[in-house]
Amino acid sequence: RERLLLLRHACQCTAAAGACRATARCAEMKVLWRHVRACAAPDCAVEHCRSSRFVLGHYDGCRDDACGVCAPVR
To 10 degrees, what angle do helices 49-61 and 26-38 make? 70
Q: What is the mean pLDDT of residues 17-24?
A: 86
The SS3 call for residue 63 is coil
Q: What is the pLDDT of residue 72?
A: 78
Residue-wise over 16-54: b if at least 16 C-beta within 10 A, else e? Answer: eeeebeeeeebbebbebbebbeeeeeeeeeeebbbebbe
What is the value of pTM for the model shown?
Answer: 0.80
If one counts every other C-beta atom within 10 angstroms of the C-beta of residue 64, the result is 9
* pLDDT per position as a tens digit, 43-65: 999 999 999 999 999 998 999 98
pLDDT at 66 over 80: yes
